Structure 1
Amino acid sequence: MIRIENEKLVVLINRFGAELKSIVNKENGIEYIWPGTEGTFKKSAPNLFPFIGNIVTGTIDYPLGKDERVILPMTKHGFARDVDFEILEITEDTAKFQLRPNAYTEERYPYNFSLIVEYILVEDKVYHNYYVKNNGVIEMYYHIGGHTAFYCNYNGDKNFENYYIEFQEQECDLYMIDAKNNSFLSSEIQKYRLPEKFMLSKEKFLKDALVFEGLENNTVNLKHTESSHGVEFTFAELDTLAVWTSVDSSEFICLEPWAGITDFTENCNRVEEKKHIQKLNSNEQKKHTQIIRVY
């Protein structure tokens, strides 16, 4: 486990998946990240690349230039969460990891890519940066996103219903899980009025995640009804926000900002037709950022 820290935070990261495993605030001693040691969700904050969610056919059809295509298998949430990353740099308050093509990824993804996952501590904030680069000569398609499970256990209170997400009160689009096939989204978009206090309950997630789009404000807070402690969560270049928890007794809520979206029941497997697909030209790089402030 890689440890970085500054005057306010101690952070642990696993080289496997370049996964954030712990954020402890030195002033209050609170652990803000779900350890993944209990319940059905055995991870803490997997990095999702090169695709988000379930793949409707289990395969993806990629263009490889003029009149050439290839179909390859792809697993849920991609492969980045399931492989070791190369360590590029470790300092007292910074950790940087890289994933490049290897025999495992080449059986699943045809592009010459690099994915850098970087964690930088600045006072009480963790900057969680993704740098995706196309090192090849053909256009490259991808999704990327986070899946951070925040521990709902402030002051020893594990009552999930005492926690809430603070949004800017607004109207947004809400994608629901397809009632006939709960592995994928329904293409029907609902207009949803987000309250300022979105109270948490397991019942809200009986059909899996809630997927919000069109948020005017890219900062939300996770709070407790009777505590001054919480998490301020900001996401940039990640336009869709999914909220999820398991329906067992685990005490966490996942805040998942995505540049991309899971498949719809009606999806075909052509990569360029996927909703919110990201595209990079040869030698082009794009940065996506999450910022976690704990208090």
Structure 2
Amino acid sequence: MELIAIGNEQVRVTISPLGAEMQSIVTSDGQSWLWDGDEAFWNGRSPVLFPVVGKSPHDHISLDGQSYPMSQHGFARRSDFALVESGEDFCRFELKASQSSRTIYPFDFTLSLEHRVVRRAVVVTAEVHNSGHHPMPFGIGFHPAFVWPLPGSEGQAHRVVLDNGGSPELIRLSGGLVNPAPLPSPFVDGALTLDGQLFAADAMLFPDGAGAGLRYGTAEKAIHFTWENLPNLALWSKPGAPFVCLEPWHGTAAEVGGSDDLAERPYAEVLGPGATGRYGFKVELIG
């Protein structure tokens, strides 16, 4: 599929209509900051997660007592979006409910994704609109993967430092579902030094307390990553993989032994008829 390129004299970004997924972030010096999707590790780059985040029990959800198949992280990331507006430094894609989507998620919706380059930053904004006549439960999240180490920072320790200086409780996944038992925070005074073994037990989830921003990288080279209307944070990689995902979410996987009802999932969002929800993140490149 033909990629859409946007940018300015400092940063260039490409986006694919498949999933409206960002494919690259390249600065004017030729350095690439976004993971390249090498299938040897993980072929994603920056997918949007909708209408669920994470796994569902037996890969099914229930809505009003009826069961529907639902794959991990939902169907938006594997759907073709329509380009509805673009300019030199921005583009906006839309995914609307279809006959096919209604067989697994019986709601009328529009999911729009805008990418915009502002100086040395990329701003990604999602809007979910309920165009139907019934309350619409869903989860939404972002899954951007950044190179680890960052360009020119090989051999240097990389840290994640929360803007709020907090030490949020950690929870883990079991079989892809949330084990709600809290674990001690790996953050000390808001800081965590990354190590591949942190991800030996899959993603690290912080349902509360991570705030709305962090700095990832080294003292000289970093990303200031902030997010809007997304209360949950996950960090994920694979042991030995040269990327780390910074994932702000509104909604998580279902809990182990919990309900398969989508509206009852932790932090599920519910929009009333005609309502619109707005969510997003910003990637500011430093150094």
TM-score, reference length from structure 1: 0.91
Residues 115, 122 of structure 2: 8 Å contact kept: yes
Looking at structure 1, the residues matched to 225 and 262 of structure 2 have their Cα atoms a distance apart, in angstroms, of 30
How far the C-alpha of 1:238 sits from its partner, in A, is 0.3
Are the aligned partners of 1:100 and 1:114 in contact in 2 as well (CA < 8 Å)?
A: yes
After superposition, residues 51-130 of structure 1 pair within 5 angstroms as 51-63=52-64, 69-130=65-126
- For 1:72-121, what per-residue CA distance to the aligned partner results, in whole angstroms no more than 9, with x for missing partners? 10000000111110111111011100001123312210100110011111
- 1:186 alignment partner in structure 2: 179
- Report whether the alignment pairs 1:241 with 2:233: yes
In the alignment, which residue of structure 2 is the partner of 1:164?
A: 159
Q: How many residues align?
A: 282
- Equivalence for 1:229: 221
Query: Following TM superposition, by how much is the alpha carbon of 1:216 offset from its aligned partner in structure 2, in angstroms?
Result: 5.4
Cα distance, 1:53 vs structure 2: 0.5
Quick check: 1:39–1:250 contact (8 Å CA) kept in 2? no
Matched to 2:236, the amino acid is W
> Does the Cα contact within 8 Å between 2:236 and 2:246 map onto a contact in 1?
yes
Match of 1:261 in 2: 252
Name the amino acid aligned to 1:43.
G
Which residues of 2 match residues 2-13 of structure 1 at below 5 A?
2-13=4-15
Q: Select the residue among 20, 23, 33 that pairs with 2:22.
A: 20
Structure 1 residue 70 displacement after superposition: 2.7
Counterpart of 2:161, as a letter, is E
Alpha-carbon shift at residue 176 of structure 1 (Å): 1.6
Match of 1:205 in 2: 199
Aligned-residue offset at 1:199: 1.0
Matched, 1:32 2:33: yes
Instruction: Look up the match of 2:137.
Output: 141
Whole-angstrom CA distance in 2 between matches of 1:187 and 1:268: 13
Deviations 1:107-137 (A, max 9, x none): 2101001100111111111110010010000
Secondary structure of residue in 2 paired with 1:198: strand
Q: In 2, are the aligned partners of 1:169 and 1:193 still within 8 Å (CA)? A: no
1:280 equivalent to 2:271? Answer: yes
Q: What is the TM-score of this pair, normalised by structure 2?
A: 0.93
Contiguous gaps of at least 5 residues in structure 2 = none
**In structure 1, how many angstroms separate the alpha carbons of the residues matched to 2:103 and 2:184?**
40
Deviation of residue 228 (structure 1)? Answer: 1.2
d(CA) in 2 for partners of 1:281 and 1:115? 15
Matched-pair contact (CA < 8 Å) for 1:158–1:251: no
Amino acid at match of 1:62: L
- Partner-residue secondary structure (3-state), 2:201: coil
Q: Specify the SS of the correspondent of 1:189.
A: strand
Deviation at 1:58, TM superposition (A): 1.6
C-alpha distance in structure 2 between counterparts of 1:77 and 1:268, whole Å:
17
Partner SS for 1:253:
strand
In structure 1, C-alpha distance between the alignment counterparts of 2:176 and 2:221, rounded to whole Å: 34
In 1: Cα distance, 2:230 partner to 2:250 partner: 5
